[in-house]
Structure formats: structure tokens, C-alpha cells
Structure 1
Amino acid sequence: MRIGLTIPSFKWPGGPGHISEHLARIAGTADQVGLASLWVMDHFFQARNNGRPEDPMLDGYAALSFAAAHTSQISLGTLCTGVTYRHPGLLGKLITSLDVLSKGRTYLGIGAAWYEEEHAGLGVPFPPLAERFERLEETLQIILKMFSDDQTPHVGNHYRLDRPLNSPLPLGRVDADRAHPPILIGGSGERKTLRLVAQYGDACNLFDTPDLPRKLAVLRDHCASLGRPYAAIEKTALTNFPWKADPRNDMKSAVAHVTRLAEWGIGHVIVAMPGIQRPEALSALSKVAEEVADILPQEH
């Protein structure tokens, strides 16, 4: 089992003038204690389930580039980049640049986008849901073309790229024998999202809810219908640990929580937790990671 950390908020003690030192310390500590991955949201405004739109929110890739400079081992990604945020050609260039600068430690986390308020606020077009999924699939096709050094034109329903040149190419992932950053598709929609995971994705990201086993079963069915090995897809889940004020007091519950997810088929748990700027929080999370390192996800 792999344990990752997500940073859902940049509202930390000291205000904006201290964000950089907190982020450097969190990323560096997560790297040093051996966590598998570090994630940030890719939003223009803070999401309302995490605070107010007016709360501090950094550009996701600027934050990850900063984190890359303060780490050496941990994987880096967004949960998740909305397909509406950037033209796919620019996104392909952006994720490749981060991959090269981090020496192959990047995930491309991507989804159909949902936060209409931030789009309207900054004047970014927010098409209807059906069109956003069309754009998501076309973006995945373009990104994979760019990762593979295929420079033939792309002429689609929403995008035209006359020459999708991408130099340098991504460094690839030696640990996964993959020639490009793994593509993680976020969302749990059974008809569209999980079908896109089966067809184009290297990983899925699901919420830790009681229907998670059913979502994985749907993903397995999509893989079977497309002739894609279900085992080839990394199954990740976003969760909150059942910790109160001090995470050191509830280690057994956290380990049991991860064990349950492994029994459902999850192999990479991404944790959102309060107080991550406090050293004891990441220390406790690293101990959980050590406890569950040998647990393997069960295939159903």
C-alpha cells in the first residue's frame, strides 16, 4: 500500500507571506519520511467544501514546481486539473516540463471540471457537461500523442493542432516501465469517467465512500469490454483519516482504515488531514505508511 498526501488549503499561520516556507517544509518532510505522493488542487478559487473562495489558492503547477525543487523522491500531481483550465497542447507542454524538472516524478491528474463559480469569476468558458466530457476525451488523445512524439496534426471537434511538437519528451517512469507520466483520471461517474479511465488512464482516483467497491466493479467491466487489463490501472482513493486534534492518538484507527481500503482493491491512499503544517501530523502519517507498506490490494 502506498500513502500520499494532498494539500487542500494554503490558509496557514502567518498569512500569504509565509505560504512558501510552509509549503517547502511540508513537501520536504513528506519526501524525507518516505510518503509516495504529494498532491495539490488545481483551482483558481478555493473550493467551498474547503473554505471560502476568497481563501488563498495557488496555481497548481506553480505550487508543484516549487515542491519539486524541495524534494527528490516523492511523486507529484494535481487532484485534478479541469479540462477547461488550459488548452491541451499547453497542458501537454506544462506537464512534460514538470516531469523533466522533477526527473520523472509527475502524474497528470485530470478531470472534466466542475467548479463553475471560479470559471465565471475569471471569465473562463465553462461548457455544458456533455461538451466537457468530449473535450476531456479529446485532450487525453492529444496528450498521449504529445507524450509519444507523434507530430502528425490533430484535427478534432474542439481542438486543432497542426504540429503537436513536444521537446523534450517526458523522462518516463522506470519504476512502472512507462514512457510518460501516468495519467490519473479523477471522478467516479460510471458511464463516462470510468470508461475513460479504462480506455486512456493509468490510474483512477475515487472518493472513499461506501459505494467504492461498486465503482471498482464498474471499472473492471469497462476494462473487460475494451480489452484492457484491469490490473494495469492504479487504483487510488482520496480519504480523510479519522484523526481528532492529535493524529498520534488514533494510529490504530488509521491503519484499520487503510486496511479496509486495500480489501476493497485500493493500492494508493491519498490522505487529506488537518494541521499538515505541524511536524507531528506528517510524522504520524509516515508511521501509518510504514505500518501498511506490506499490505497488498485485493483483486476482486
Structure 2
Amino acid sequence: MRLGVHLVNFDYPGGPAAIGPTLARVGAAAEAAGVANLSAMDHYLQIADMGLGDVDAPMLEGYTTLAFLAAHTRSVELQLLVTGVTYRHPGLLAKIVSTVDVLSGGRAVLGLGAAWYEREHAAFGVPFPPLAERFERLEETLRIVRQMWSDDDGPYEGRHYRLAETINSPQPLRRTPIMIGGSGEKKTLRLVARYADATNLFAGPHSSPAQVKAKLDVLADHCAREGTDYDRIRKTVLWAAPVTADAEGGKAFVAQLAGYAEVGITEVHVMPFAAEPVGFVERLGEHVVGALGAL
């Protein structure tokens, strides 16, 4: 099982001036630890109920952050977990992710979801349509980015988006993986089967491998209907709770993940909630990465 680190807290000792140097050290620590994926949230405002401060706590723009991390890493994948479909026009999103991929030497992943944080949309004046429309926009966005990352540079005509040309130069250095976040059985997992390379589900102390397996079974059914090879879909989870990464806590965490590995999960993303992410990543390398890799 691979390990990803999902950055959610940017309130570091030393204030805003410390954010850049801290993230540079996170990148170096992730490489040394054997972390497979570095991700950040895609939000304008901090999520108040995560215990990381109110909405005025520091929050970085996601793709700018990935570009910075690209310069301070060599091999880890880079993505947002996940981009809300409402935050950027899909043509620009394809261009942005292509740029991250080119500048990182082919390490970008596009994470996409239907968006949910209405308060930040209102705060920044970004339209927040009803859920059904957001899912329509999500599917159109998936079609647009796939077209822009192909040899087809012709127009795109959809219900919500119309592009006269889908020119994208330079193209990504590799076939950029697409991850869809969420566990909705009727829409989200159907979109995974139809368009994506990876699914991201929630797991934690209050979930069980059986619950995740039930979602994967639904995904397998969608794959069968869509003619998609279920085995090629990367199955990942975001661990929605703090992880203690010392020797004892790391051993307990790996033991919890064993059941998820048995049902097909191949990657887990963990969050450094504390304001010392470098030490957290270093401890993951010492106590977690190797043991997870053996599952």
C-alpha cells in the first residue's frame, strides 16, 4: 500500500513568512521518507470544523502550492484532493494541470469532485449551483479535460460549457491520471467508472473495511456496465482522522489498514493536523511507509 500526505494546515510558527520554507522542508522530507503522493486541499477558506482554526486561518491557493512543491520534490506525485468543479473553468483547469505536469517532470494528478463548501463560494463571489447541476458540470469538465489532453483540438459543445477550440500546448508529459473524490453510488462512482483512473473514498476509526468494500462493489458494477477494467482503477482512501506516527501509533495505524488492503485499497492519504508537518512526515518514513508497503 502506498502512502500519501495531504496538507491541510498552513498555520505555522513564524506566520506567513514561514509557510514557504516549511513546505520546502516538507517536500524534502516526503522524498526522503518514501511518500508516494503529496496533495493539498482545494479551498479558498479553511474548513472551520476541522479543528485548525476558523475560516480566517491561513489557506493557500492549491495549484500555486503544487507548483512550489514541484520545485522542491523529485519523484512524488502532486495533486489537489480534490479540485471542486466550480472553482475553475474546465479549459483553464486542463491548462493549469498540464503546466504542473510539465514543470514537475510528469508528476501531476488531476483530482476532481462536485464541490460542497458553499460559504467560500459566497465569500469570493463564485457561483454555487445546485448539486444536480454541479454533477452535470463535473461530467462536462471530465469530457473537456480528456479532449484537451488528446489530439482533438476542435470545439466542445455542452450544456454548461462551450469551447471554440481545445488547444492545449504543451501537453502533459504523461497521460495524466484522473482521480474522482466521493462515494456517491449513483453518480460519483459511475463517473469514476466512465472517466477516471482512481477513486478516493473516506476511511477512519469510525469506518470499516466492509463499508469501503461495499462502495468498491458498487464501483465494480459500474465498471462492468461501462466496459471498464475495474482492476486498473486505483483504489484510495483519505484517512479522516489524526494519525500518531511514532513507533506505537504507526504500528497501530498499519494494523488498521491491513483490512483495507485486503478489500483492495492500494493507497491511503493521511493529514498532518499539527503545525509541525516536517516532523510528522519524517516519522511516517521511519514507522509507517515501509510497513504499509508490505501490506
Q: Shorter chain as normaliser: what TM range?
A: over 0.9
Aligned counterparts, 1:102-181, within 5 A = 102-172=104-174, 180-181=175-176
Distance 1:102 1:247 in 2: 31
Partner of residue 201, structure 1: 196
Q: If the length of structure 1 is used for normalisation, what is the TM-score?
A: 0.92
Distance 1:27 1:274 in 2: 17
Alpha-carbon contact 2:2-2:267 (below 8 Å) kept: yes
1:243–1:201 Cα change, 3 Å? closer
Partner of residue 230, structure 1: 230
Q: How many Å apart are 1:274 and its aligned residue? A: 3.1
Instruction: Give the gaps of 5 or more residues in structure 1.
Output: 173-179, 296-300
Q: If the length of structure 2 is used for normalisation, what is the TM-score?
A: 0.94
Structure 2 counterpart of 1:190, from 174, 185, 190: 185
Distance 2:227 2:168 in 1: 29
Q: Verify: 1:77 aligned to 2:79, yes or no.
A: yes
Q: How many Å apart are 1:232 and its aligned residue? A: 1.0
Measured against aligned partners, the alpha-carbon deviations of 1:44-101 in whole angstroms (never above 9, x if no partner) come to 1111232311110000000110000000010000011000000000000000000000
Instruction: Give the gaps of 5 or more residues in structure 2.
Output: none
1:41–1:66 Cα change, 3 Å? same
Partner of residue 215, structure 2: 215
Q: Verify: 1:267 aligned to 2:269, yes or no.
A: no
1:276–1:12 Cα change, 3 Å? closer
Higher relative contact order (CA closer than 8 Å, sequence separation 6+): 2
Q: How many Å apart are 1:248 and its aligned residue? A: 3.3
Q: Verify: 1:286 aligned to 2:285, yes or no.
A: yes
Measured against aligned partners, the alpha-carbon deviations of 1:153-179 in whole angstroms (never above 9, x if no partner) come to 10110011111100011100xxxxxxx
Partner of residue 35, structure 2: 35
Distance 1:11 1:242 in 2: 17
Aligned residues: 287
1:243–1:83 Cα change, 3 Å? closer
Alpha-carbon contact 2:28-2:72 (below 8 Å) kept: yes
Letter in 1 for 2:59: M
Alpha-carbon contact 1:242-1:253 (below 8 Å) kept: no
Q: Secondary structure at the match of 1:49?
A: helix
Distance 1:22 1:183 in 2: 28
Alpha-carbon contact 1:241-1:273 (below 8 Å) kept: no
Q: How many Å apart are 1:291 and its aligned residue? A: 1.4
Q: Secondary structure at the match of 1:125?
A: coil
Distance 1:139 1:278 in 2: 33
Q: Secondary structure at the match of 1:205?
A: strand
Partner of residue 16, structure 2: 16
Distance 1:278 1:106 in 2: 22
Alpha-carbon contact 1:242-1:250 (below 8 Å) kept: no
Distance 1:277 1:73 in 2: 22
Q: How many Å apart are 1:11 and its aligned residue? A: 1.1
Measured against aligned partners, the alpha-carbon deviations of 1:235-272 in whole angstroms (never above 9, x if no partner) come to 0100156645x633322202102212201210011111
Q: How many Å apart are 1:20 and its aligned residue? A: 0.7
Q: Verify: 1:55 aligned to 2:50, yes or no.
A: no
Letter in 1 for 2:260: L
Alpha-carbon contact 2:22-2:278 (below 8 Å) kept: no
Distance 1:148 1:115 in 2: 32
Alpha-carbon contact 1:99-1:105 (below 8 Å) kept: yes
Q: How many Å apart are 1:32 and its aligned residue? A: 2.1
Alpha-carbon contact 1:147-1:169 (below 8 Å) kept: yes
Distance 1:171 1:39 in 2: 19
Percentage of matched positions with identical amino acids: 50
Q: How many Å apart are 1:233 and its aligned residue? A: 0.4
